[in-house]
Chains A and B, each alone.
Chain A
């Protein structure tokens, strides 16, 4: 059997432990899928795989038990999934054009969850559109609110939804529901002064508990969506660590630009001898220094006036 495993991998198939057998990895940006596409996955699994599927940790689907020689047929069958999810592709019918940049995962977001501050899937799809296909190993995750159910701090880019609470004091009746909720469920950023509420903007994490708990609509959400962007969390062998805060109250456009800038930075700085061409961004930043990274990352980024950039950035975590 003669297989170019590098091409196999780039085509989003896995080189498995079983000789002759591969697995197809389906991207589902934002983790939301039209149910009528499930039969496509089912058919591939039943006709070319072993009849099972695996739900991946990044919200994709992996279909195991596929013979390498069936990859072209599988790629043909994948086309409706690729089309419907708007995955950028070099040539129709050839499957995924790349696999380095991983599926962009997201919690269920505000399509369903009451805490969600934005449509996580839509933003994930927008990022996917902007960066895929790419061979660089990037992990991006989005979560709807600071509860961080998507555990985005384990990713290279973690995007945490925020709302900037708007307070209409003439609708406030001093029921204190917001103050209590903020103290018990969030960061205790609210104080009652003269029977009205004062928000400590420095402390506020934009979770929206005040809005959710307000019975009179004295608290509402900002029309603008804001995010907290956190950088370079990772698990893995040498130095597992949580992502650190980079920008608070940042907007969607800036996040997209920063991610794209980071691709350019990695291309310029990645170790040319990295095994498999894979070097984790965080280790590159460790090597070049944060200042060099920031120079690239913030190039031509127009942050909103309210954005707060953390400095210096410092990661800790475990060192083995």
Chain B
């Protein structure tokens, strides 16, 4: 059952939910972006509908709520180790369909690929997801081609239409709240994108042989290896460990993990001083194949959810979707090599 609420009523619902949950949604950080007086849209705690940014795509995804950019795992002294505590409240995360699909990818790595991750799991269990209806794609989106434009595994759905809030909840307590503050509407289903301005096509016979294509060479020079694409990506989850000891007590400290980028120097450095993928073109190939080939080989579905944030955030105007669309030609090139 769907419900229609005024924004005031919805704010009361949020206030009620706020007693149990910390509510996170994409919100506007005025002037918070790279360049002066440019807003940044990213996830933060919200208390009202007005704070939820529904008009603009978030520059950074929800993933930082489950995998913070910097997360303390434990504190240690000489003889003791103490796990860092977890936030007390449960969490509600508002996100679009592409990002809800990304959650499955995060779960795949952090709950199933090898042993489950304690820190991810304890946060993950606290989270309820509210799907933000997404009536129209942004310029760089290609969710339809990645099959991530629709989601039905949400705990609740939310959409603003004509200044009114439409909600549907699967959670019985939330349903009761909506009944209390809103009026029932028949047949509410969250909007989803059916076509995107950006299209991608990934060759069916894509294989690691594409590494030999010259398609990657231009990125040796074009890419600056800054990692923005990874940090903005909702499915990039690599991390690096850091041990810190406190400057005022050298015997105590903490171990943290911080988000890592396969595009940034040092990602593959081994203790002896060696490293792999020194060229940025090689890193690009590694990232692209991870997103649209390797992960699928391992898990049966594509990792990339087509949100296009990597395109939006790249300071060098390198388009991930444009690379995907070069793969067919790249495969032809390497197949041609094989025939000679």
A residues in contact (CB < 8 Å) with B: 110, 114, 116-119, 163, 169-175, 177, 193-195, 208, 211-218, 220-221, 223
Contact = CB atoms under 8 A, between A and B. Distances in A.
B247 interface: yes
A208 B32 CA distance: 13
20 contacts: A114-B34, A114-B35, A116-B35, A119-B37, A170-B68, A170-B69, A172-B70, A172-B258, A173-B227, A173-B231, A173-B261, A177-B227, A211-B34, A212-B34, A215-B227, A216-B60, A217-B42, A220-B29, A220-B40, A223-B30
Contacts of A119: 37
Interface string B25-41: 00001111111110010
Contact of B242 (A110, A116, A174): A174
B38 to A, nearest CB: 9
Given A163-B36, A223-B30, A223-B31, 9 more contacts: A118-B37, A169-B70, A171-B69, A174-B240, A194-B244, A194-B245, A195-B256, A208-B36, A215-B313
A171 B64 CA distance: 9
A174 B258 contact: yes
Contacts of A213: 226
Contacts of A214: 34
A42 to B, nearest CB: 33
B69 A216 contact: yes
Nearest to A217: B40
Given A170-B69, A177-B226, A194-B244, A216 B34 contact: no
B318 interface: no
A110 B240 CA distance: 36
Given A195-B242, A195-B244, A173 B36 contact: no
Interface string B305-340: 000000001000000000000000000000000000
B261 to A, nearest CB: 7
Q: Is the interface of A mostly helix, strand, loop or mixed?
A: loop
Given A173-B69, A173-B231, A174-B242, A221 B36 contact: yes
A216 B259 contact: yes
Interface string B106-141: 000000000000000000000000000000000000
Contact of A195 (B33, B68, B258, B264): B258
A170 B259 CA distance: 11
B260 interface: yes
A243 B64 CA distance: 46
A174 B75 CA distance: 19
A6 B229 CA distance: 63
A118 B36 contact: yes
B6 to A, nearest CB: 32
A171 B68 CA distance: 8
Contact of A215 (B36, B68, B226): B226
A142 B209 CA distance: 55
Give the most central of B40, B231, B245: most A CB within 10 Å.
Answer: B231
Contact of B258 (A163, A173, A177, A193): A173
Given A172-B69, A194-B244, A220 B226 contact: no
Contacts of A217: 29, 32-34, 40, 42, 59-60
Contacts of B226: 175, 177, 213, 215
A110 B35 contact: yes
